[in-house]
Amino acid sequence: MARSNAGLTASDSEASVSGIGWAREWRFLGISALLFLAGAWGTIRWCESMSGGMAMPGGWTMSMAWMRMPGQTWLGAAASFVLMWVMMMVAMMLPSLVPMLLRYRGSVRVSNQTRLGRLTALAGAGYLFVWAVFGAAVYPLALVLTAAYMRWSALARSVPIATGFVLLLAGCFQLTRWKARQLGHCRNTPARDQSHYSAARSAWQNGLRWGAHCSLCCFGFMLILLATGVMRLGAMAIVATAITVERLSPKPQHVARVTGIGIIATGALVIARALGVA
């Protein structure tokens, strides 16, 4: 055979999945659905346990996500946040990750049929590991900002306007060529050739690569989530829906542009309200 199945392109992989049929993937899809439900349930419970917050100058509320529980160490608080962040990413990202994993399974099925489940799990774990690193990087930065808000009331009063500008930045990001390029990587990234690596190492590296592209592609959405509050289920649902539609739409760049324009309009409205002109 002149070309290895491990070196298939994204279109080849999609054709492979189509040839296999959805019926042979029922177990994978069922497990994915259960993971999604578990992530959604855990995220909802996390938000319920962290409901409330601290009223701040400027009429906004500091999220409990950035506060330690009584008797909790900073390390324990950070570990708890990262764990909850990963659970949130499972709920938000799995709908758009599953098609990518299906393409991956189609590309390695023939050569690694007996280890397909293990390789899929490794690829998914590598993807989530990148998001865990993202959350671990966000937490200390958020703590620094939280301490600054609590120390300087003038800075705290500027948060509503700053939130509007963050939304403007996120919306502009949606319109850039960088966003379009990263979105293309997320939708059409094939599994790399496994001829030079063990299958397990290749699966892990593929997951890391997908996670890196995805985190870069979703940078604007993550800014929105962090600026509006990671404990808000409504914001999470809107962001997760936007990401999924963007990934699965037949015209993803059009969706990204429309979403970007909507975010810019929302940011302008937030600023106007903060200034008292709307």
Model confidence at 11: pLDDT above 50:
no
Q: What is the pTM of this model?
A: 0.82
Helix axes 219-228 and 199-217, enclosed angle (nearest 10)? 60
Confidence of residue 171 (pLDDT cuts 50, 70, 90): very high
Over residues 254-258, the mean pLDDT reads 93
The DSSP-derived string for 180-249 is HHHHHHHHH-PPPP-TTS-HHHHHHHHHHHHHHHHHHHTHHHHHHHHHH-TT-HHHHHHHHHHHHHHHHS
- Write out pLDDT tens, residues 80-130: 889 999 999 999 999 999 988 988 888 876 555 667 888 899 999 999 999
Q: Quote the CA–CA distance of 172 and 264 in Å, as a whole number.
A: 7
CA distances from 75 to 61, 68, 139 (A): 24, 10, 11
**Ramachandran region of residue 52, left (φ > 0), alpha (ψ -120 to 50) or beta?**
left
- Residue 18 or residue 182, greater confidence: 182
Lowest mean pLDDT among 64-68, 95-99, 212-216: 64-68
SS3 32: helix
